Amino acid sequence: MKRRLAILGSTGSIGTQALEVVSEHPELFDVYAITGNNQVDLLINQARQFMPEIVVVANERKYPELKEALEDLPIKVWAGIDAIVQVVQMEPVDMVLTAMVGYAGLRPTIAAIRAGKAIALANKETLVVAGDLITALAAQYKVPVIPVDSEHSAIFQCLVGESENKVEKILLTASGGPFRTYSKENLERATKNDALKHPNWTMGAKITIDSASMMNKGFEMIEAKWLFGLLPEQIQIVVHPQSVVHSMVQFVDGAVMAQLGIPDMKLPISYAFSYPKRLFSKLPRLNFKQYSSLTFEEPDLDRFRNLAFAFDAVHKGGNMPCVLNAANEVVVSAFLQDKIGFLKMSDIIEQVMGKVTFILSPTYEDYVVTDFETRKITEELI
């Protein structure tokens, strides 16, 4: 039988590539629902191509346009975050790909887990904000959470068949982004156009800026802690500019296993959809003739302070990673609107982390309040 998918964030970078994977394997996957936020034209085209049962636009102001465009088709058209939460719980759905951007992915992911749906996790902020809550729920409802991020997929793949063997540490690779060789002076003058020119990956604007500031790698560190049950001290960040080694696992005997491949997100998406099987892919194969050397270096926490903040947040625990995420979402938006400079993002995040009320053992409601309070304080500082 086909695996029926609900793809949250189908108009984003991960979502569009996920639909490409589906189109390459129509005998295996069926799109039951797709959701988007603002890109209604793309959502309409996707609906016409894949004919899902339900299409949801999160931005309710876009509903009339979407409804009118699809009224000739037998597709249910809904709007709003409550509709997305409802969709993920529907009985026909087998797996939910959470590819929404930022904090918005938390509530639908919780709802999907409570409904017993397998999760293909591309929304790292879900575990950054509420990793303790998500992992506890996944265990309670016996729901598999399969990572889609290339780095976490790499670690996941390296651990297959190794359940009896103890992990000493993982080595989470980072490209270093477009500013890897920039001095602090150059970073002071960096523009959003500079930051959006990622050397290896094609991603959405928000995650590309996070990569440039290395906040993305800080979030991935926190995500890895929860996905693989590790201490922060067991996670080493390694800058690897070629983006060929997607991450590594070091075991207690000193052996290091790595997963390599071309930098293309369709590989980890396909693996998450089909696990434990691997599907044939037409993607180019890794050609070592193109890589005369693979290099590795330590990250510079002085130039890329956001990575240091992520370690601070996860060591403090409680709602501090939630604070980190909310502050970052606001400053990245401000940077993209040319309201603040590149380095100012880190300055503001540091201030906010010292101002928001700290909660050691937060509930879901506490996370909601923390997110609201953090965004308010961050906006005021901007």
**Phi–psi pair at 237, nearest 5 degrees:** -90, 130
pLDDT tens digit sequence for 13-26: 999 999 999 999 99
Q: How many domains does the chain have?
A: 3
Please check whether residues 35 and 164 belong to one and the same domain: no
pLDDT at residue 202 above 80?
no
Indicate the pLDDT class of residue 303, thresholds 50, 70 and 90: very high
Going by pLDDT thresholds of 50, 70 and 90, the confidence category of residue 292 is confident
Are residues 208 and 169 both part of a single domain?
A: yes
Q: What is the pLDDT of residues 57-114, one digit of tens each?
A: 999 999 999 999 999 999 999 999 999 999 999 999 999 999 998 888 999 999 999 9
Please check whether residues 158 and 93 belong to one and the same domain. no
**In the predicted structure, residue 200 carries a pLDDT above the cut 80:** no
Structural domain includes residue 91: yes
Residue 306 lies in a domain: no
| 1 band by pLDDT with thresholds 50, 70 and 90 | confident
Q: What is the CATH number of the domain that holds 381?
A: 1.10.1740.10
Per-residue pLDDT tens digits for 224-259: 999 999 999 999 999 999 999 999 999 999 999 999
Query: What confidence tier does 204 reach under pLDDT thresholds 50, 70, 90?
Result: confident
Do 108 and 174 lie in one domain? The reply is no
pTM score: 0.93
In a domain, residue 311? The reply is no
| pLDDT-derived band at 369, boundaries 50, 70, 90 | very high
Q: Please say which residue of 299, 334, 369 terminates a domain.
A: 299
Pair 140, 202 in one domain: no
> Do 27 and 44 reside in the same domain of the chain?
yes
Is residue 355 assigned to a domain?
A: yes
Let me know whether 378 and 275 are in one domain: no
Q: Is residue 16 part of a domain?
A: yes
Instruction: Name the least confident of 17-26, 91-100, 165-174, 203-212.
Output: 203-212
Specify the pLDDT at position 102.
Answer: 83
Q: Among residues 126, 147, 168, which one ends one of the domains?
A: 147
Residues of the domain holding 139:
3-147
Q: Judge whether 185 lies within some domain.
A: yes
pLDDT averaged over every residue in the chain: 96
Q: Is position 381 within any domain?
A: yes
Shared-domain flag, residues 139 and 65: yes
